[in-house]
Amino acid sequence: MSVIIFAETRDQQYKKSTLEAVSYGKEVAQKTGGKVIAVSMGGASDAASLGNYGADEVITLHGAEFATFSPEVYASAFAEVCKTHGGKTIIISNTYSGKSISGRVAVLLQGALATNVVDYPDTTSGFRVKRGVFSGKAFAYVDMQSDVKVIAITPNSVEIKTHGTSASVSAHQPTGLPTSATKIESTQTVSGKIPLTEAEIVVSAGRGMKGPENWNMVEDLATALGAATACSKPVSDMHWRPHSEHVGQTGITIKPNLYIAIGISGAIQHLAGVSSSKVIVVVNKDAEAPFFKAADYGIVGDAFEVLPKLIQAAKASATS
Amino acid sequence: MKVLVCMSVVPDTTTKITFTNSDTSFNTQGVQFIMNPYDELALTKALDIADPAGGSVTILHVGPADAEPAIRKALSMGATEAVRINAAPTDAQFVAEQIAAYAKDKGFDFILTGRESIDYNGGAVCGLLGAMLNLPSINVITQLGVSGQTATIERDIDGGREIVSCPLPFVASAQKDLCEPRIPNMRGIMAARTKPLQIIEPVSGANHVNYSKFELPQPKQGVRMISAENPEELLHLLRNEAKVI
Ligand SMILES: Cc1cc2nc3c(=O)[nH]c(=O)nc-3n(C[C@H](O)[C@H](O)[C@H](O)COP(=O)(O)OP(=O)(O)OC[C@H]3O[C@@H](n4cnc5c(N)ncnc54)[C@H](O)[C@@H]3O)c2cc1C
Ligand SMILES: Nc1ncnc2c1ncn2[C@@H]1O[C@H](COP(=O)(O)O)[C@@H](O)[C@H]1O
């Protein structure tokens, strides 16, 4: 019996969400017993380092099949390792890649699936997880009843814990992999930018910014804070910003430590996607804007006056 | 060209969420149910591809009879026929099993779902279906074109986008940007009245998970206002009080 983690990398480095997933796996193993095994595909520069976050073993899978991400191939190879090593609790990050494989892995292992999980499980009787539902407007407690449990955890949901240990690393050559039917023609990634769903700090702006030409201020503040940028739905509908930045009920649901909303009114559909943020700051010129009711800190003021001062203060704060 | 579009029916986005029966079930009182917004995109795209090819688009919903207004809406948008599998959808795995059992021998050229349902936010049905039907599954797609037996697809990936090609058949999930949702016109609404709606009984499925309880987020303690003249104070509080920077 073991806890198995799908370890994702970006540029050969483990993602922060992977470290969270390993920490989660360690916590589960402390409750249910068993080894913590991380499975690393497509190459990572320092596999043994996952030991520090709680992995006992790291299994690496190499080969041309893993050079690009294919949900069928990755899910099959990962499920095979899970079977070989008696994986009972399977932890995957709820990133785009994680979401692409979690359903397939659950089917291959005939396990129960819970996505969008936001907290450690309660194992006092059975195995109960907490997941976000209604786009952040509520949570559900779900009893996972099958022997094998596939859990996809939302980035930024649990703290990373370190143990100061190192993991043993071994290579595995999967057999009987499907050949990928899909072929990647081209990939376009924004390098050096933190993906919105994984960001700890998000600076977001709405229609109050008046036009796309004013977004340099939003970006400057984000840069000063090391944040990702987001926007309200009308802003992406009008193509002021790409749709991938649209947060809310019909956009992305995010859960950063800090969400700064500038010139956003705080409509129920917007709040749905961001209300799980740990701390919310609202800047709005209208003191009656509904967003203030959902905020921890607020500034009533014109964004065009407040932002330059805020950027300056953030820059000064970063260097102090 | 035969296309299947899977539709979930969800509370209207303005719904204030509450629960009943000691927080064990969602309170549907006074709630208006709508077609899941992402499924509108999936259906629109399916129609844009199938219509010029003289193909058909089947809209499929797993759920009880109260979903029929939403199913009629899908038909009025242009779907050729509708199928309702008469079962209460308990979770994504149950739903996917029902859809897979229906679709497995129908010869669909491709199957579209939404990126996620805006109520249960599983984002799971596309991948589950792919594995159950042994088809490629492509999540969060923002462009789709079919030429002959091959589809060209753009999809969101972590921190960017990717273009993939994929042979038919496949399963994919619709993301914003795929298209603008079609608005039903008068002719569509009239035509929908006579389009076939087939009701079939569910197959027995595994019961992997059980929703035992719901909870609303903790309300905020109240907002602390800071003068617009003094943003340094905000930074100070974020660093020393909230400890988030
Ligand atoms: C089906 C459906 C789904 C939806 N899904 C989403 C969703 O997922 N995400 C989402 O965001 N919205 C969603 N919406 C839209 C939502 O209802 C709101 O219309 C939207 O969030 C408003 O965006 P906004 O706050 O940027 O613009 P507005 O409502 O126009 O608000 C602009 C705000 O900026 C302030 N402002 C103006 N000028 C300044 C200035 N100079 N300085 C400071 N403040 C200023 C104003 O006081 C106002 O509060 C959805 C709507 C529907 C019907
Ligand atoms: N009850 C249902 N009937 C048919 N399709 C569904 C149902 N529930 C979900 N789906 C499809 O699966 C997608 C993703 O749903 P989910 O995995 O619940 O987030 C939806 O956008 C629909 O296309």
- Assess if residue A122 is contained within a domain: yes
Q: Indicate whether A216 and A257 sit together in one domain.
A: yes
- pLDDT average, residue stretch A238-250: 94
Which token pair is A47?
């596999």
Domain B2-217 CATH assignment equals 3.40.50.620:
yes
Q: Are B92 and B124 within 8 A, CB to CB?
A: yes
Would you say A197 and A95 are in contact if contact means Cβ atoms under 8 Å apart? Answer: yes
Q: Is residue A190 assigned to a domain?
A: no
Which run of H or of E encompasses A310?
helix A303-319
Residue A193 has pLDDT above 80, yes or no: no
Q: What is the pLDDT of residue A174?
A: 86
- pLDDT, position B79: 98
Looking up residue A220, the CATH number of its domain turns out to be 3.40.50.1220
pLDDT over 90 (residue A195):
no
Share of chain A above pLDDT 70, in %: 99
Strand, coil or helix: A224 = helix
Query: Interior CA angle at A92 toward A191 and A12, to 5°?
Result: 35
Euclidean distance between CA atoms A159 and A316, whole angstroms: 28
Question: B243: which 2 tokens?
Answer: 């400890």
The C-alpha R_g of chain B, in whole angstroms, comes to 21
Question: Ligand 2 pocket: which of B3, B4, B5, B7 to mutate (most atoms <8 Å of CB)?
Answer: B7
CA of A292 from ligand 2 middle (Å) equals 34
Atom of ligand 1 nearest to the CA of A234: 23
Sequence-distant contacts of A174-179: CB under 8 A, at least 24 apart: A174/A61, A174/A76, A174/A77, A174/A80, A174/A81, A175/A80, A176/A76, A176/A80, A177/A65, A177/A73, A177/A76, A177/A77, A178/A72, A178/A73, A178/A76, A179/A73
> Does the residue A189 lie in any domain?
no
Answer yes or no: do A205 and A164 share one domain.
Answer: no
Q: Which domain holds residue A214?
A: 196-319
Nearest ligand for residue A211 CA: 1
H or E element: which one contains A231? Answer: strand A228-231
What integer best gives the mean pLDDT of chain A? 94
Site to substitute for ligand 2 among B5, B10, B113, most atoms within 8 A of C-beta? B113
Is residue A12 pLDDT above 90, yes or no? Answer: no
Interface A-B, measured as beta-carbon pairs within 8 A, has a size of: 273
Q: Closest partner residue to A182 among B136, B156, B239, by Cβ?
A: B136
Report which protein residue has its CA nearest ligand 2's atom 6.
B8
Share of chain A above pLDDT 90, in %: 83
Q: What is the pLDDT of residues A14-67, one digit of tens each?
A: 999 999 999 999 999 999 999 999 999 978 889 999 999 999 999 999 888 898
Helix (H, G, I), strand (E, B) or coil at B172: strand
Query: Which of A156, A171, A186 delimits the end of a domain?
Result: A171
b/e code B59-77 from CB counts within 10 Å (16+ = b): bbbbbeeebbebbbbbbbb
What's at A227, amino acid-wise?
Answer: A
Say if residue A12 is in the same domain as residue A96: yes
Which pLDDT value is given to residue A283? 98
Instruction: Select from A259, A269, A291, A309 the residue to mutate for testing ligand 1; criterion: most ligand atoms less than 8 Å from CB.
Output: A269
Query: Which regions of chain B are under pLDDT 50?
Result: none
Asked whether residue A178 is domain-assigned, the answer is no
Q: In this structure, is residue A191 part of a structural domain?
A: no
- Spatial separation of the C-alpha atoms in residues B140 and B242, rounded to whole Å: 35
Neighbours of A56 (CB within 10 A): 19
**Section A291-295 average pLDDT:** 96
CA distance A180 to chain B (A): 8
Boundary residue ending a domain (A138, A171, A204): A171
* Residues A165 and A40 both lie in one domain: yes
Overall domain count for chain A: 2
In the numeric block, the tokens 């596999």 are attached to A47
Q: Do A158 and A47 fall into the same domain?
A: yes
Q: Would you state the pLDDT for residue B243? A: 95
| Each residue's pLDDT tens digit, A197-228 | 889 999 999 999 999 999 999 999 999 999 99
Q: Which helix (H) or strand (E) holds A150?
A: strand A149-153
In whole angstroms, what is the distance from residue A57 CA to residue A168 CA? 5
What pLDDT was estimated at residue A320? 67
Measured in angstroms, how far is the CA atom of residue A207 from the centroid of ligand 1? 6
Does A104 map to a domain?
Answer: yes
8 Å CB contact of B210 and A145: yes
Query: Do the beta carbons of residue B63 and residue B89 sit within 8 Å?
Result: yes
The C-alpha atoms of residue A246 and residue B94 are separated, in whole angstroms, by 30
What amino acid is encoded at A317 in this protein? S
Q: What is the Cα–Cα distance from B47 to B82, expressed in whole angstroms?
A: 14
Q: What is the pLDDT of residue A190?
A: 75
Q: ipTM score here? A: 0.94
The pLDDT tens digits for A91-133 are 999 999 999 999 999 999 999 999 999 999 999 999 999 999 9
Domain containing residue A132: CATH number: 3.40.50.620
Cα B172 from Cα A211, distance rounded (Å): 34
**Domain assignment of residue A182, yes or no:** no
Question: How distant is the alpha carbon of residue A309 from its chain centre?
Answer: 31
A200 and A161 within one domain? no
Instruction: Give phi and psi for A212, each to the nearest 5.
Output: -60, -25
CA-to-CA distance for A168 and A230, rounded, in angstroms?
A: 40
The CA-atom distances, in angstroms, between A96 and each of A116, B100, B162, B166 are 12, 23, 12, 19
| Residue A208 Cβ contacting ligand 1 at under 6 Å | yes
User: Is A208 in the same domain as A137?
Assistant: no
Chain B residues in contact with A276 by the CB 8 A cut-off are: 217
Type and span of the H or E element at A297: strand A297-300
User: Which residues are registered as beta bridge partners of A4?
Assistant: A37, A90
Cα separation values, B64 from A162, B32, B61, B185, Å: 49, 15, 9, 26
Residue A238 covered by a domain: yes
**Residues A161, A202: one domain?**
no
CA distances to A219, A230, A244, A318, B64 from A215, rounded to whole Å, are 6, 11, 16, 21, 47
* A136 and A206 housed in the same domain: no
> In the predicted model, is pLDDT for residue A273 greater than 80?
yes
- Which chain A residue has the Cα nearest residue B166? A182
Query: In what helix (H) or strand (E) does residue A110 lie, and over which residues does it extend?
Result: none
Chain A residue numbers touching B166 (CB-CB < 8 A): 181-183
Is residue A191 pLDDT above 70, yes or no? no
Distance from CA of A172 to the nearest CA of B (A): 23
Distance CA A270, CA A267 (A): 5
> For B164, which of A182, A188, A279 is closest by C-beta distance?
A182
Whether residue A130 is found in the same domain as residue A214? no
